[in-house]
Amino acid sequence: MGELWDAFVKALHLIVTLDREVMDATRVSLSIAAISCAATALLCLPLGSLIHFRRFPGKRFLISTIQTLYSLPTVTVGLLIFVIFSQAGPLGGLGIFLTPTAMVLGQVILIAPVMLGLIISALSGVDKAVSETATSLGASRFQAALITIREARFAIMASVVMGFGRAFAEVGVANMVGGNFAGYTRTLTTDMMLQTQMGNTELAMALGIILILIALVINVVLNRLQQR
């Protein structure tokens, strides 16, 4: 127990003194997760709106498939990116394997079903009377759709925060397609795994504490949005 406490104290010291390795891993994690989340939101908001407002054959099956992909394993996505973008893959010539770009692409694939499904659910939760009233007052279908999106904005924001949290905490994609290079593709999760394997308990705990603190902030923001 004493050794665990000593490791915890050293971990706090590394955080307070802004240890370079700890800060680098935090910066890479936040930047890649933020870029992945922004790109996914730009893709999923119009796509989710299109799915919600349009009627077409197989719509329920499509939504069920999207919801099934909520639990898509990270290592499966990592393997997919590896097969396609490694040097032996069909798109290996693009040279994005073992770079932050490959990590962003993998995280977009990973969180897109979550964000897309939650956006569709957010729009479905808006009372149909909102759009019907807007239409009766002379609004076009597009304007009525915008009003519905506005009514669901807090739930949509919550889906974006949820996507960011999933991207920030994942380890499979980052480890398989990023290469875990210090200061470049090494995230908090991959660095924590590496330091644990090397026996650097205090550094691994410092990284874990930062992960928990940021996860706490994400949950607080998510709860506030859900209350709104």
Give the CATH class of 2-227. mainly alpha
Give me the residues of the chain with pLDDT under 50, please: none
pLDDT for 73-104, tens place per residue?
888 888 888 888 888 878 888 888 888 999 99
d(CA 171, CA 89): 22
d(CA 175, CA 185): 9
Tokens 């665990």 -> residue:
4
- pLDDT at position 42 is 92
- pLDDT at position 190 is 86
d(CA 39, CA 220): 23
- pLDDT at position 105 is 92
- pLDDT at position 2 is 59
- pLDDT at position 116 is 92
- pLDDT at position 36 is 92
Residue 24, class by beta-carbon neighbours within 10 Å (0-12 exposed, 13-18 middle, 19+ buried)?
middle
Angle at the Cα of 189 from the Cα atoms of 102 and 76, rounded to 5 degrees = 50
Crossing angle (nearest 10°) for helices 100-124 and 74-85: 130
**Domain boundaries defined on the chain:** 2-227
